[in-house]
Amino acid sequence: MLAGFGLMAYEISCVERGLTLMNRDLPPRFMYAKQWQHLTMFILLTLNGCIDILSKNLLPQRCVPLEKGILVLTFYVLLLLLVSHVQDSVGVEMHVHSLLILVVLLLMLVFTAKLWAPDTFQLAVIETFLFQMMGSWLVQAGFILYKPVSGYPWEDDNISDIMFVTTFFCWHWERAALKVDFPNYPGGGKRGCSPGRKSAKKNANEDEDDLESRSSGSPSNCFGFVAYSVNAGEKPRVKIKSTQEPSYSCSTRCDSDRASTPSPSPSPSPRKLRCVDQREPETHERRERHSKRRRAKEGIIDTFDLTWLGTPSTMATSASSHLNKGIKQVYMALPQGEKVQAMYIWIDGTGEGLRCKTRTLDSEPKCIEELPEWNFDGSSTFQSEGSNSDMYLVPAAMFRDPFRKDPNKLVFCEVFKYNRKPAETNLRHTCKRIMDMVSNQRPWFGMEQEYTLMGTDGHPFGWPSNGFPGPQGPYYCGVGADKAYGRDIVEAHYRACLYAGIKIGGTNAEVMPAQWEFQIGPCEGIDMGDHLWVARFILHRVCEDFGVIATFDPKPIPGNWNGAGCHTNFSTKAMREENGLKYIEEAIEKLSKRHQYHIRAYDPKGGLDNARRLTGFHETSNINDFSAGVANRGASIRIPRTVGQEKKGYFEDRRPSANCDPFAVTEALIRTCLLNETGDEPFQYKN
């Protein structure tokens, strides 16, 4: 920022009669075009520095989007000015500026890409490299365009000088590449790498300043929510500081507290209290502790640290979740007599969303045939036009209602048009016919439904408001408040599914924080789709009570985060018997010849959603290639290791997306593996 003010003052002082925009002669003409371009560049760069200082030091919480936005804007304008700046340049001067424009253009593209993928390590490395390149080349340009120390100026019309400009640029390029320090980037280098020597030396010099600022009562980091408590012989732990209690750091306050507070009963491992102004001997452990605190203050994440980047989560929740649930229970406890509430559930016109409405029955239905058909307004669910909007709900599966409890029911329905033909998103109707054709082979399915918990503002549950949690690694099947986000929701959903009679097999935390999975199955035939759809409905209703959203988007967070799938396990009676591996291998061979058909069937947008997830990274296969392997989670089809050892069992199709229709997935598997269909289109069977 100071350099920017200095450059602006220098640019103005270089004009003897003052920097004016137009002359006073007639007709008026613009004056000092290049000086005004220089001044505009310096103003933007100075503004960028001011915004950084304001965001990091003066605002209540750091505003990273503001910093990124002004940086992108600066380089967009800088590029335009540089292109205009070389209009009347020739020879060496034009070549020097053209190479600078190349670097600025690449930086602009990197900044733009980081707006959509801010957590990408590769982009951060490229950004640092280009910044170093731009800075060193600007210095070099000064020696080229102005009289150098040697006293021999560069000649604009000398072809040798022009050629050597490119050579010097390449030398700068190589120098900048060698200076990029990979281990100091979050997620860079090998796991557990220590910082470089310069960084370590800087940390040691800054530790004393960090300790002094802490002893003066300043917050423990620039976001004001991390406080450290240290046990004897322990490394610092992160705690959430209460906003209602003041933070005291002087020894006088600590002594008075101990004098006025009754001594607690002794515990097996008493906590050693230490005031922050009590100095310890200079040790490696002490330097490491304060280095971590300093890095937390700057928003830097170590490989093993789970310190947040950004402010604590202020996730938005729905208004209804803030209502007093105790009042509702007063009414839910009222007797309902012989009447029964039946909640009818159906899939809407998106192929992903669920709708529901409730009707009263005179008595408890004992089977699906005792439930009456119903209708609804299809024009409000993307399933019909307003001029002919009535559509039919035909009960297909019935479950106990975990929200209203017995004798009330959840009723999953098929949707039919006015002419009694199945709606476009009623894939159950065809799936049922296909399953009936192979019922003698006893097809079993198990589907692993992954999902992500989000706030009503679309921000992942538990993530910091303007940053990201620590990198993936500790969250899969994790335990602890810093590793598992939203377990209350998961447990509530699990118990509700058990009550309803859903064949839920288990649940676990997934690789990305706030991402979870539950398993449905084994289910035979058409039951797979019925149970999974109702389990999804129950999840949405549970999240509704908690005020959050469960999304089945296959890639809810772009960048270096895992996507969400619905891995499908499949077997037949022959596969589960002795030497069933032979039938598994035959089925995989058939699937390999029909890859594109399955890709289109495995998400509601014909493969477009899965294209964001199936990249060949993050435990996925490439969407364009078919592969299979034993215990290989990067393959299209995985054969579990136990199946390979026992020579019987099942295989796992890892391609279906989290938002897939289970009826479409299971039908496609039956068509290819058991009905021996080929080609890119399903075969039409006669009734």
Whether the domain at 321-422 and the domain at 433-460+474-673 fall into the same CATH topology: no
Structure tokens that stand for 323 in this block: 């209502």
Q: Which of 303, 291, 285 is nearest to 199 (CA)?
A: 291
Confidence of residue 467 (pLDDT cuts 50, 70, 90): confident
Sign of the C-alpha dihedral computed for residues 409, 414, 417 and 420 taken in this order:
negative
Entry field: residues in the chain? 687
DSSP 631: T
* pLDDT at position 431: 98
Residue range 552-574: average pLDDT?
96
* pLDDT at position 411: 99
Instruction: Give the DSSP H or E segment for 142.
Output: helix 121-145
SS3 content of the chain, % helix, strand, coil (to 5): 40, 15, 45
Cβ atoms of 316 and 456 closer than 8 Å:
yes
* pLDDT at position 668: 98
* pLDDT at position 188: 44
Confidence of residue 6 (pLDDT cuts 50, 70, 90): low
Query: How many angstroms separate the CA atoms of 358 and 336, rounded?
Result: 15
Q: How far apart are the first and last CA of the chain?
A: 77
Higher pLDDT, 346 or 167: 346
Confidence of residue 534 (pLDDT cuts 50, 70, 90): very high
* pLDDT at position 428: 98
Cβ atoms of 239 and 228 closer than 8 Å:
yes
Q: How far is CA 356 from the centre of its chain?
A: 30
Structure tokens that stand for 553 in this block: 């988007």
* pLDDT at position 109: 87
Reduce the DSSP state of residue 270 to 3 states and report it: coil
Structure tokens that stand for 133 in this block: 């390149």
Higher pLDDT, 620 or 304: 620
* pLDDT at position 409: 98
State the virtual CA torsion across 118, 122, 123, 128 in degrees, nearest 10. 120
Most confident option among 80-84, 87-91, 118-122, 644-648: 644-648
* pLDDT at position 413: 98
Query: How many angstroms separate the CA atoms of 365 and 363, rounded?
Result: 6
Residue range 322-338: average pLDDT?
93
- The letter for the amino acid at 86 is V
Q: Which of 614, 598, 631 is nearest to 562 (CA)?
A: 614
* pLDDT at position 675: 97
Give the distance between the most distant pair of CA atoms in the chain. Answer: 104
Higher pLDDT, 243 or 587: 587
Share of the chain above pLDDT 90, in %: 49
Confidence of residue 166 (pLDDT cuts 50, 70, 90): confident
Residue range 598-619: average pLDDT?
94
What does pTM read for this prediction? 0.59
Higher pLDDT, 39 or 263: 39
Query: How many angstroms separate the CA atoms of 140 and 170, rounded?
Result: 12
List of E strands, 216-283: 226-229, 237-240
Mean confidence (pLDDT) of the chain? 79
Structure tokens that stand for 503 in this block: 């064949």
Q: Is 433-460+474-673 a CATH 3.30.590.10 domain?
A: yes
* pLDDT at position 212: 38
Higher pLDDT, 662 or 687: 662
List of E strands, 334-373: 340-347, 354-361
- The letter for the amino acid at 465 is S
Share of the chain above pLDDT 70, in %: 71
Structure tokens that stand for 116 in this block: 């959509």
pLDDT in tens, 124-152: 888 888 878 777 777 777 677 666 655 56
* pLDDT at position 217: 37
Higher pLDDT, 598 or 150: 598
Lowest-pLDDT choice from 146-155, 373-382, 512-521: 146-155
DSSP 421: P
pLDDT tops 70 at residue 662? yes
Cis before 656? omega within 30: no
* pLDDT at position 34: 65
**CATH code for the part of the protein at 321-422:** 3.10.20.70
* pLDDT at position 225: 31
Read off φ and ψ for residue 439, nearest 5 degrees. -60, -30
pLDDT tops 50 at residue 343? yes
> What residues does each domain of the chain span?
2-184, 321-422, 433-460+474-673
Lowest-pLDDT choice from 35-49, 236-250, 329-343: 236-250
Q: 149-176 burial, b for 16+ CB within 10 Å, e for fewer?
A: eeeeebeeeeeebbeebeebbeebbeeb
* pLDDT at position 99: 83
Confidence of residue 47 (pLDDT cuts 50, 70, 90): confident
pLDDT tops 90 at residue 535? yes
* pLDDT at position 293: 54
pLDDT tops 80 at residue 642? yes
Burial category of 263 from C-beta neighbours within 10 Å (exposed 0-12, middle 13-18, buried 19 and up):
exposed
pLDDT in tens, 271-295: 433 333 444 444 555 555 555 555 5
Query: How many angstroms separate the CA atoms of 608 and 622, rounded?
Result: 13
Q: Which of 598, 616, 570 is nearest to 664 (CA)?
A: 598
pLDDT in tens, 193-236: 443 444 444 444 444 444 333 333 333 333 333 333 333 344 43
Query: How many angstroms separate the CA atoms of 210 and 214, rounded?
Result: 6
Lowest-pLDDT choice from 33-42, 182-191, 241-250, 401-410: 241-250
- The letter for the amino acid at 323 is L
Q: Which of 489, 155, 484 is nearest to 321 (CA)?
A: 489
Query: How many angstroms separate the CA atoms of 657 and 450, rounded?
Result: 9
* pLDDT at position 197: 40
* pLDDT at position 626: 96
Sign of the C-alpha dihedral computed for residues 438, 521, 372 and 374 taken in this order:
negative
* pLDDT at position 308: 37
Higher pLDDT, 240 or 412: 412
Reduce the DSSP state of residue 597 to 3 states and report it: helix
Reduce the DSSP state of residue 462 to 3 states and report it: coil
- The letter for the amino acid at 148 is P
pLDDT tops 90 at residue 504? yes
Lowest-pLDDT choice from 121-125, 151-155, 414-418: 151-155
Read off φ and ψ for residue 191, nearest 5 degrees. -60, 130
pLDDT tops 70 at residue 583? yes
Reduce the DSSP state of residue 652 to 3 states and report it: strand
Confidence of residue 85 (pLDDT cuts 50, 70, 90): low
pLDDT tops 80 at residue 56? no
* pLDDT at position 209: 42
Most confident option among 111-120, 203-212, 545-554: 545-554
- Cα within 13 Å of Cα(407), Cβ side: 14
Read off φ and ψ for residue 602, nearest 5 degrees. -95, 5
* pLDDT at position 46: 82
Sign of the C-alpha dihedral computed for residues 57, 60, 62 and 65 taken in this order:
negative
